[in-house]
Amino acid sequence: ITSNMDIWTWRKMVEDGKVEDARADGSIVMYDQSLSEVARWNFQSAWPVKVTGPSVKADSNEIGIEELTLAHEYIERVQ
């Protein structure tokens, strides 16, 4: 979780009917514990179809995880 609202703003564009404007290219990158890149997927013309906020318990020290589901025109694993 971060204080950055970019993902939520991106999803709001779709909710407001601006799917064409929301389409974006990008990458999903997985890192190991030493922060070395171990996998990368590049995608094209993607837009968020679902964003789920964390379910955090007040008495827990678990990390909060947000989930993002993308629709896309193309995806490729490059590493």
Residue 54 inside a domain? The answer is yes
What pLDDT was estimated at residue 66?
A: 84
Q: Is residue 23 part of a domain?
A: yes
Is 55 inside a domain boundary? yes
In this predicted structure, what is the pLDDT of residue 74? 98
Type of residue numbered 62: E
Domain that holds residue 17: 6-77
pLDDT of residue 55: 75
In a domain, residue 1? The reply is: no
The pair phi, psi for residue 61, each rounded to 5°, is -110, 20
The pLDDT value given to residue 54: 79
Retrieve residue 55's tokens: 């379910």
| 50: in domain | yes
Asked whether residue 68 is assigned to any structural domain, the reply reads yes
Q: Is residue 72 part of a domain?
A: yes
The count of structural domains within the chain is: 1
What pLDDT sits at residue 65?
82
Taking the C-alpha atoms of residue 38 and residue 59, their distance in angstroms, rounded to an integer, is 34
Q: What is the pLDDT along the chain (79 residues), one digit of tens a residue?
A: 667 889 999 999 999 999 999 999 999 999 999 999 999 999 999 999 999 887 777 788 888 788 999 999 999 999 9
DSSP notation for 37-77 = EEEEEEEEEEEEEEEE-----TT--PPP--EEEEE-SEEEE
